[in-house]
Amino acid sequence: MTDFLDVEIAQRSLGEMAPRMKILAGLMPDYVRELEAWQAKAREYGRRFVRPQALEIDAKCRRDPRYFDWDLIRRAMPYGFLSMAIPKSAGGGGNLTTTTAVVLEELCAACSGVANVFGAHGLGISGILLGFDLYHVDRSLADVVESEKRGEPVIFAAAITEPLAGSDVEDAGYLRTAKLMTEARPVAGGYRLNGRKVFISNGSIAKYSSVIAPLDRTRPNETMSAFLVRAGDPGFSVGRVEEKMGMKACPAAELIFEDCFVPRENLIGLEGDGVRGVETVLGASRGPVGAIATGVARGAFERLVDFTVRKKTGGRRLFDQQWVQIRLADMARRIFLARQAYLDGCMTFDFTGAPKLMKLFASRMLDAVPSHVRRHPLITRVLRSATMQRTTRRMMDERLDENDLHHIQQYSSGAKITGSDTAMSVAYEALQIVGLEASLHRHELEKIFRDAKLTQIYEGTNQLNRHNVFINLFPREAGHGD
Amino acid sequence: MAIDAQRLAEVEQTATRFAARHIEPLAAEWDHGDPSFPLFVFARGREAGFDRLMLPESAGGYGFSPAEVAALVAALARTCAGHAMVIGVHAALVATLHDAGAQAALAQVLASEQPIAVALPEPLSAGEFETAVSAMLVGKDQYHLNGPAGLAINIAPAGFIIAFAKDAAGSPLALLAQAGQNDVAVGAAELTLGLRAMPLAEVSFADHALPSAQVIAAGEPANAFYRALLANLCQVVAAAAVGVMQAARTQALKYMAERYQGGKMIIDHEHLREMIGVMTANQIAAEGALSCVAERGPNFGAALGAKFAITEAAVLLTTDAVQLLGGYGYMRDYGLEKRMRDAAMLALLPVANPRAALLLAALEKKTVS
Ligand SMILES: Cc1cc2nc3c(=O)[nH]c(=O)nc-3n(C[C@H](O)[C@H](O)[C@H](O)COP(=O)(O)OP(=O)(O)OC[C@H]3O[C@@H](n4cnc5c(N)ncnc54)[C@H](O)[C@@H]3O)c2cc1C
């Protein structure tokens, strides 16, 4: 294992890594200080606990894809990564996507497989957060918070992808013709969920899964909805756990629903609000995925720098050879731009997207009410009432600017593409500069190369994300497909 | 060198049948299991005469042309690049020994049932090498070898090892040692990115007594041997990369004609068509480069250049092939992720591509200065 701790570039503060943060430190000092504090926590956890074990976990999962390192995740409990995005009123950190992204970049520089456990958890809870579903905030998300305090991780998963519909469920335009298998038929007191989801990160270890399914498969756009399913619910089981090329520390599993009864209260948000929910969630999560990819690239870069400092050819350190210097400089430039892209994506979302509604008087009032009060049956009834939810929705419609929403989509998809292409190119170039030694598992770089490829595929393939940029760049003119 | 199309087709058919019978049933398991040398497949390859393909008939071989060797390796690599390399690397090293006139070493290898590995030293400009192995002449006909020879490819527990050393005067030596002997330390087979059927391990010598007869070449001929070895390995690597490309593209294309997404088969999405078109173009270019270098006959620069271009194209193509399968491409069952790993590993052999480019530039400089 190389010792990248000795590489000075791995010690830099957020302000040194992203110039905007230095500038913002003068304008919004608390904001930047908080981001830096989270960055420091993630860096510490990554270095002390994740990195020393990353290779071993990768090798264990290669033999047994169901292996999951609970101990390592337990060690993260004091840092609060599982609850960092949960509202303060429910005991969480109340952080938005930019903070999550900064944390994910740091964790990924250590091991993106482990980081993905937290990333996928974030995706799982975001439907509840962005749907302003206080009922679930006060229950399942409060469970995350309470368990974290006890040192016991409670993890979420987000189940969107189906065997025959991957890209199609991530895009409203394509959804109409999607071959969906999953359906949640309304029945007395709730829904009867049938079907399968595939490739679900954390799927085999999550206590809660946010499952996207239509009430009527023939009208997916109109009836798509989100449901909370718990591990062990009758009719719900985990199928195959995939043998993946990389990011092995985070299991990807098939979820099987066979007449799984979902009580009405486990609907997340409103019936039929799923398409919009998925769009909002992906708008929020693609920036952090850009950060995941940036962290992957940075991990490769830091290990490479360390190698070039130690390795001599022809009597000269690689670090002193011009062909290496130019390549290192260009890799650093690309990583820098990827970071800019994800910061743009996340900050645009945080400042102009759904989170800005949290600043509204009504939201603040509600948030100020302690969670245990909100859990009172009477208040629960009010919060869960269709009128209340429709009001929330109307508020979102009124307060969120359509242009801003298009910008969010452009920048978040752009960040995901930029980051993932950078991760792949930097990881590949690192292999090439090191040469044959880089192909050895114990040198970490080959793992990073395997990890990197996933970032171009999940959270919508880069093709789908490019199309999303186009649709939102030319919203009036753009049609779907070709 | 003229290409006999009919013979080429026969070679391909033989290799394809061999791969289906002996490699296919084991390929996935070898990729997934703990690294070890595939002795069974190697032995079947020897029985089929694959080890002597490149030897002239006068030396008891089959006198395959470079184009035929390339066709054979590519056909094997369509099933598994790692196994193709095991057979190709051995055949290339046998041929290099023969061409260097290392008759004693060659006879020893051919008489045994063991494969040849090579501990690849770092290249220096214009095809010389750098090695940390010192060779001290003790008496008249024995060297004492000391130091790390580096990573050896195609290593087997009792296999031969071609290694490189410098004598007391700093003069280069190429030599043949054998694993399993005292004082030849071979590390555990490493878990690698790809080509897992062809194990890699660290080799080092600790006062290993090597008879002078085991020295393949000394002085400038050792550098020439190194260049010839690289050139032959480059051709094998390039051929394996072409095989990987052919298989990956075919598989991606087939999937595209079956996968429905966005209201149609994904092959009907224009952007994806462009991607597959680029893959086809790259494959054609790679096949062209491979036959071009095969026709030219032994040429260090051409082999290096072809392997550079072909392996870069193979990495691009296999990465896109994985992408075209979406999430399924990332999963072991579909086999494309293995092709992507194999292609990336080929790009590192026998020298990584940026270094290949530096070597090419050094050769080019000689033509103008
Ligand atoms: C390890 C891993 C973890 C994952 N984790 C999760 C998770 O936690 N939750 C979850 O819900 N999903 C998850 N996914 C699924 C992931 O989001 C999908 O794989 C991705 O959306 C692509 O879908 P697909 O695999 O079905 O590919 P497909 O949609 O079938 O795509 C195949 C190819 O066609 C292209 N394509 C598809 N439609 C179009 C179109 N209309 N126009 C042009 N090109 C098109 C794609 O770009 C791709 O190249 C994960 C996947 C992996 C591999």
Q: What is the pLDDT of residue A482?
A: 47
Which A residues 3-62 touch B at CB under 8 Å? 59, 62
pLDDT score at B263: 94
Residue of A432, A450, A462 to mutate when probing chain B, most B C-beta within 10 A = A432
- Mean predicted confidence (pLDDT) in B231-255: 98
Residues of chain B positioned with their CB less than 8 A from the CB of A179: 260
Both tokens of residue B360? 């090419």
**pLDDT confidence band for B161 (50 / 70 / 90):** very high
Q: What pLDDT sits at residue A375?
A: 82
pLDDT at A2: 43
Task: State whether residue A182 sits within 8 Å of chain B by CB.
Answer: no
pTM of the model: 0.96
Q: Which residue has the higher pLDDT, A479 or A385?
A: A385
Shared domain for B237 and B213, answered yes or no, is no
Share of chain A above pLDDT 70, in %: 96
**Residues B107 and B199 both lie in one domain:** no
Q: Which of A464, A469, A470, A480 to mutate to test the pocket of ligand 1 (most atoms within 8 A of CB)?
A: A464
Any CB–CB contact under 8 A between A166 and chain B?
yes
Distance of CA A338 to CAs A18, A422, A431, Å?
11, 7, 20
CA distance A209 to A203: 7
pLDDT at A7: 55
Band (A272; pLDDT cuts 50, 70, 90): very high
Nearest to residue B47, comparing CAs of B113, B133, B123, B126?
B113
How many whole angstroms from its chain centre is CA A445? 23
Q: How far apart are CA A433 and CA A431, in angstroms?
A: 6
Which of A245, A312, A313 has the most B C-beta neighbours within 10 Å, making it the best mutation to test the interface with B? Answer: A245
- HSE, side-chain direction, 13 A CA sphere, residue B369: 6
| Alpha carbon of A458 to ligand 1 centroid (Å) | 6
Cβ contact, residue pair B262, A327, below 8 Å:
no
pLDDT digits (tens, 9 = 90+) for B73-82: 999 999 999 9
Sort out which chain A residues have CB atoms less than 8 A from B326's CB and list them: 166-167, 457, 461
Q: Measured between CB atoms, which of B190, B340, B349 is closest to A441?
A: B190
Residue A298: pLDDT band (50, 70, 90) is very high
Question: Could you tell me if B82 and B103 lie in one domain?
Answer: yes
The finding on whether B269 has its CB within 6 A of some atom of ligand 1 is yes
Cβ of A121 under 8 Å from any chain B Cβ? no
**Is A330 within 8 Å of chain B by CB?**
no
**CATH label of the domain that carries residue B278:** 1.20.140.10
CATH number of the domain residue B133 falls in: 2.40.110.10
Same domain membership, residue B343 and residue B305: yes
Residues of the domain holding B79: 5-112
Pairing state of beta strands A208-214 and A156-159? Answer: parallel
Residue whose token pair is 């869960």: A384
C-alpha to C-alpha distance for A205 and A70, rounded to whole angstroms: 9
Interchain proximity B329–A457, CB inside 8 Å: yes
Q: Are B108 and B215 in contact (CB under 8 A)?
A: no
**Cα end-to-end span (Å), chain A:** 48
If asked whether residues B10 and B146 sit together in one domain, one would say: no
Contact criterion met (CB < 8 Å) for A314 and B347? no
**Distance of residue B134 Cα from the nearest chain A Cα, in angstroms:** 16
The predicted structure's pLDDT at residue A362? 66
**How large is the average pLDDT for residues A428-446?**
98
Element (H, E) at A329: helix A322-352
Residue among A454, A449, A426 at smallest CA distance from A439: A449
Q: Residues 305-364, chain B: which have Cβ within 8 Å of A? A: 315, 319, 322-323, 326-327, 329-333, 337, 340-341, 344-345, 347-349, 351-355, 358
Is residue A192 pLDDT above 50, yes or no? Answer: yes
- Residue A388: pLDDT band (50, 70, 90) is confident
CB contact under 8 A, B332 and A245: yes
Q: Does B112 touch chain A (CB under 8 A)?
A: no
| Cα nearest neighbour of A434 on chain B | B352
Q: What is the ipTM of this complex?
A: 0.97
> Alpha-carbon distance A329 to B175, whole Å?
40
Does the beta-carbon distance from A440 to B345 stay under 8 Å?
no
Residues A350-363 have a mean pLDDT of 82
Q: Are strands B116-119 and B160-167 parallel, antiparallel or unpaired?
A: parallel
Single-letter code of the amino acid located at A71? D
d(CA A304, CA B235): 29
Task: Please work out whether the CB of residue B272 comes within 6 Å of at least one atom of ligand 1.
Answer: yes
Q: Domain boundary at B218, B237, B253, which? A: B218
Q: Would you say the CB of residue A199 lies under 6 angstroms from ligand 1?
A: yes
Q: Verify whether ligand 1 is closer than 6 Å to residue A161 (CB atom).
A: yes
Residue B248 — pLDDT band, cuts 50, 70, 90? very high
In this structure, the number of other CB atoms found within 10 A of the CB of residue B93 comes to: 26
**B129 min Cα distance to partner chain A (Å):** 9
Q: Is the pLDDT of residue B299 over 80?
A: yes
CB A457 to CB B333 under 8 A?
no
Per-residue pLDDT band at B366 (split at 50, 70, 90): confident
The type of residue at B277 is G
Positive or negative torsion for Cα B302, B307, B313, B314:
positive
pLDDT at A4: 45
Ligand 1 within 6 A of CB of B260: no
Selection from A281, A291, A382 nearest residue A106 by Cα: A291
CB-based burial of residue B260 (10 Å sphere; 0-12 exposed, 13-18 middle, 19+ buried)? Answer: middle
Q: Are strands B122-124 and B160-167 parallel, antiparallel or unpaired?
A: unpaired
Residues B207 and B105 in one domain: no
pLDDT of A376 > 90? The answer is: no
Same domain, B135 and B151: yes
Q: How confident is the model at residue A390 (pLDDT cuts 50, 70, 90)?
A: confident
Asked if B326's CB is within 8 angstroms of A457's CB, the reply is yes
Higher pLDDT: B67 or A360? It is B67
User: Among all chains, which residue has been given the structure tokens 């050393």?
Assistant: B165
Alpha helix ranges (H) inside B48-167: 66-79, 81-99, 103-111
Indicate yes or no: CB of A457 within 8 angstroms of CB of B330: yes
- What residue owns the CA closest to ligand 1's atom 7? A200
Token representation of residue A289: 């995925």
Q: Does B213 touch chain A (CB under 8 A)?
A: no
CA B328 to ligand 1: nearest atom: 25
Question: B285 and B244 in one domain?
Answer: yes
The upper half-sphere exposure of residue A273, i.e. CA atoms within 13 Å in the direction of its Cβ, equals 24
Residues B212 and B240 in one domain: no
Percent of chain A with pLDDT over 90: 81
Q: How many Å apart are CA B314 and CA B287, to the nearest integer?
A: 11
- A1 — pLDDT class (breaks 50, 70, 90): very low
CATH code of B29's domain? 1.10.540.10
Of A261-265, B61-65, B183-187, the least confident: B61-65
Strands B215-218 and A190-201, by their bridges, are: unpaired
| Coil, helix or strand at residue B59 | helix
Q: Could you tell me if A282 and A173 are in contact, meaning their C-beta atoms sit under 8 angstroms apart?
A: no
| Overall average pLDDT of the B26-37 stretch | 93
My answer on whether B239 and B291 are in the same domain is: yes
CA distance A117 to A115: 5
Confidence band of B125 (pLDDT split at 50, 70, 90):
confident
Does the beta-carbon distance from B331 to A242 stay under 8 Å? yes
Domain count, chain B: 3
Pick the closest to residue A461 from B250, B275, B114, B150 (CA basis): B275
Closest residue by Cα to atom 41, ligand 1, is B262
| pLDDT tens, position by position, A303-348 | 999 999 999 998 999 999 999 999 999 999 999 999 999 999 999 9
Q: Taking residues B98-118, what's their average pLDDT?
A: 94
Q: Which residues of A touch B329 (CB under 8 A)?
A: 457
Split at pLDDT 50, 70, 90, the class of A214 is very high
Using 50, 70 and 90 to split pLDDT, how confident is the model at A361? low
Domains and CATH numbers, chain A: 3-155+276-480 (1.20.140.10), 156-272 (2.40.110.10)
Contacts of A62 in chain B (CB under 8 A): 32
- Model confidence pLDDT, tens digit, residues B322-338: 999 999 999 999 999 99
DSSP secondary structure of B295-355 = HH-S-HHHHHHHHHHHHHHHHHHHHHHHHHTGGGGGBGGGSHHHHHHHHHHHTTSSS-HHH
CB contact under 8 A, A458 and B340: no
Give the pair of three-digit tokens for residue B200: 């890699």
**What does each C-alpha distance from A235 to A111, A199, A232, A266 come to in angstroms?**
34, 19, 8, 15
Distance CA B208, CA B79 (A): 39
Rounded-to-integer distance, Cα B156 and Cα B199, Å? 7
Indicate if the pLDDT at residue A5 is higher than 50: no
B311-343 as b/e: b if 16+ CB within 10 A: bbbbbbbbbbbbbbbbbbbbbbebbbbbbbbbb
Domain shared by B248 and B363, yes or no = yes
pLDDT value of position A396: 79
User: What span, in angstroms and rounded, lies between the C-alpha atoms of A393 and A387?
Assistant: 10
Q: What is the number of the ligand 1 atom nearest to the C-alpha of A459?
A: 17
Which residue's C-alpha comes closest to atom 43 of ligand 1? B269
Whole-number pLDDT of residue A383: 78
Residue A151 has pLDDT above 50, yes or no: yes
Indicate the pLDDT class of residue B160, thresholds 50, 70 and 90: very high
- pLDDT (average), residues A139-154: 97
Cβ A160 under 6 angstroms from ligand 1: yes
In terms of domains, do B214 and B173 share one? yes
User: In chain A, what residues touch B344 (CB-CB under 8 Å)?
Assistant: 428, 431, 439, 449
Where a domain ends, among B198, B218, B238?
B218
CA distance A457 to chain B (A): 6
Where does a domain end: B195, B218, B241? B218
- B180-194: b (≥16 Cβ within 10 Å) or e: eeeebebeebbbbbb
Of A244, A436, A482, the CB nearest to B352: A436
Q: What confidence tier does A87 reach under pLDDT thresholds 50, 70, 90?
A: very high
Does the distance separating the beta carbons of A245 and B354 come in below 8 Å?
A: no
- Three-class SS state of B206: strand
